[in-house]
Amino acid sequence: MPATVAVIGGGYGGITVAKALDDVADVVLVEPRDAFVHNVAALRAVVDPAWPERLFFGYERLLDRGRVVRDRAVRVDGTAVTLGSGERIIADYIVLATGSAYPFPAKIPIEDRAGAIAALRATHDDLARSDGVLLLGAGPVGLELAGELKAARPDRAVTIVDPAGDVLAGGLSGLAGGFPEELRAELRRQLDALGVELVLGTSLAEQPPSEPGEVKAFSATTVDGRRIVADIWFRCYGVVATSDYLAGELANARRANGQVEVTAELRLPGQDRVFAIGDLTALPEAKMAKAAGEHAEVVAGNIRTLISGGDRLAGYRPGGPAISLPLGPAGGASYAPGVGLLGAEDTARLKGADLRTGPLRETFGQAE
């Protein structure tokens, strides 16, 4: 009988593992959403009404042999996965790929495609009625959203507030700092040219009187006395790894922030057949779709080796500080060790006009 591989989570890493093992195992992909969400393009979708539908890809054609179960894992131990429905999946191998949660609109907390599209369209309409936008957080999400907002409507006032003294000062989730000053300088230059106001080294004295994403004119004051007037605001910080379903010995690998410890082979410590990939891992590197895909390739290869009776598993080495950060369709900056700084034109080319939706159409059997 073929080995059963349970993949928990149908994000970037999960779909890559599931598809790579579909020909050698009985793959069960567990995912509560009814469609894959291309989070990389989520910020474009709230400013461009042509984009919301493009973010979603149905799972129907992802696997040839395996199955996708629309449900949520509520308990995972070393040998089985218990779903919210009560179904229990006994697995030879388990891959944890549940990723992380993040404030809307960078990630969308709605599990059905129709509801998620409606939320994106509602935010687009709200932004159309807003002359001033306040963004809390000068990390990658805050900067990218600012760029999208100004590219869509240059006359709109966009202000970013962050207690750090510079943009990208905290690096990326899981990676403290590491970016060169030339990258930050280029981003500051482009933001200034777009008319984005950076208020750094301070924070709001108190939270705005409205909820994030709610249109309601307000004024906010920073702790150093600066007054900011806006119609709508968004929280652009606060990633939280999703791992509360871990049980038994697996729970011992869970850190206070929800991330899990992994070995060089991306297995949980003390576990031969339980792996973790993507944002869930406590690896010192940027939590990005590219890293999740690289994790997935290593894990898929290692499970193939184990299925065939081998024991020489590949290790994973975290990458250096790298980022490709668009500021609207034609702006942004990128950096990678060995490559150096790339400006707006190269960044726009790297991300592409379709924000890399082309490969996803092929993955999900939707290529034209």
14 part of a folded domain: yes
Find all residues with CB under 8 Å of 56, minimum gap 6, and list them. Answer: 35, 36, 37, 38, 113, 116, 117
Would you tell me how many other CB atoms lie within 10 Å of the CB of residue 99?
25
74 part of a folded domain: yes
Task: Say if CB 221 and CB 212 are below 8 A apart.
Answer: no
* Structural domain harbouring 43: 4-104+239-307
233 part of a folded domain: no
Find all residues with CB under 8 Å of 338, minimum gap 6, and list them. Answer: none
273 part of a folded domain: yes
335 part of a folded domain: no
Q: Which of 162-166, 218-222, 335-339 has the lowest mean pLDDT?
A: 335-339
Q: 94: which strand partners?
A: 6, 274
44 part of a folded domain: yes
CATH number at residue 13: 3.50.50.60
Instruction: Count structural domains, the chain.
Output: 1
285 part of a folded domain: yes
Q: Is the pLDDT of residue 61 over 90?
A: yes
Nearest of 123, 108, 10, 111 to residue 63 by alpha carbon = 10
225-268 pLDDT, tens per residue?
Answer: 999 999 999 999 999 999 999 999 999 999 999 999 999 999 99
pLDDT of residue 45: 97
Nearest of 204, 156, 173, 155 to residue 107 by alpha carbon = 173
pLDDT of residue 352: 74
How far apart, in whole angstroms, are the C-alpha atoms of residue 275 and residue 221? 46
Task: Say if CB 305 and CB 311 are below 8 A apart.
Answer: yes
35 part of a folded domain: yes
- Report pTM: 0.95
Task: Say if CB 204 and CB 363 are below 8 A apart.
Answer: no
Band of residue 174 on the pLDDT scale cut at 50, 70, 90: very low
How far apart, in whole angstroms, are the C-alpha atoms of residue 221 and residue 255? 35
1-13 pLDDT, tens per residue?
Answer: 899 999 999 999 9
